[in-house]
Amino acid sequence: MHPMLNIAIRAVRKAGDHVIKSLEKPQAIEVANKGNDVVTNIDKEAEAIIIETILKSYPDHCIIAAEGSNKEGRDKDCQWIIDPVDGTKNFVRGYPHFAISVALRMRGRTEIAAVYDPTRNELFTATRGSGAQLNSQRIRVSEPRDLTGTTLATGLPFAAKQHAESFAKIQNALFVDCDDMRQSGCSALDLCYLAAGRVDGVFKLGLKPWEIAAGELIAREAGAICTDFTGNTNYLTSGNIVAGPARVVKPLLSKIREHGSEALNK
């Protein structure tokens, strides 16, 4: 196993244990609004645990973190992207679907990813070029022939409400062909579930880099194609992602181009 993946796994497990333990005393969870989302003291504590674990082994690396604990390290080639609790709204309501997400980008490419679901004790991991695993077992995307009978993961664009009308048109067009849709509230797990064949495709917009970085590598290493809404790979910047096997991504992009606004398709 890659030594940096070992550190990522250690970090997400430590943070996950802290997050789960906090649910034993829900009265101690402090919730505050953060734009279109919420943040808790547990998010910030978990973020600190992850960063401490990483910097203990790699003190010169850079950090980009969801709750703002960024660090400009001396080694500019190595950048860790952290989401201490992806799915905070689920977490604060006791809805057991959230995850800790950590990715390492080196010289502009994502090399290492770990996503940990502490409620189910499911650890999704990937190293670039070495495949994706769930609890150390190899996983692969599903192989549908087209959109017929597929289950797609998506989410209402609360962080990009200017695209609400376009999103509704795209969703309605896809509804005709697919079998079902899921809106789980956790983008990291959406992409990991794609990797494990639990859903057949993902399309989401208005995401932050830390909601995408780890999950997209895990999905790609399991055989998925990941693009932005234009068919390019600028999703970490645009926040818009389409992912799945080729026979799902192609018709998804077609529907997005047909029904999305000009602004959304840039």
State the Cα–Cα distance between residues 168 and 188, nearest whole angstrom.
22
Are the C-beta atoms of 256 and 242 separated by less than 8 Å? yes
Write b or e for each residue in 228-240: b if 16 or more Cβ atoms lie within 10 A of its Cβ, otherwise e. bbbbeeebbebbb
Cα–Cα distance, 203 to 27 (Å, whole number): 35
Ranges assigned E (strand) in the chain: 31-34, 37-40, 61-65, 75-86, 99-106, 109-117, 122-127, 132-134, 137-138, 151-153, 180-182, 201-204, 225-227, 241-244
Q: Pick out the residues of the known binding site.
A: 83, 86
Q: Determine the Cα–Cα distance for residues 106 and 153; give it in Å rounded to an integer.
A: 29
Q: Output the known binding site for Mg(2+).
A: 83, 86
By CB neighbour count within 10 A (0-12 exposed, 13-18 middle, 19+ buried), where does 27 fall?
exposed
Instruction: Please give the sequence-ordered ranges of beta strands (E in DSSP) within 128-210, or none if there are none.
Output: 132-134, 137-138, 151-153, 180-182, 201-204
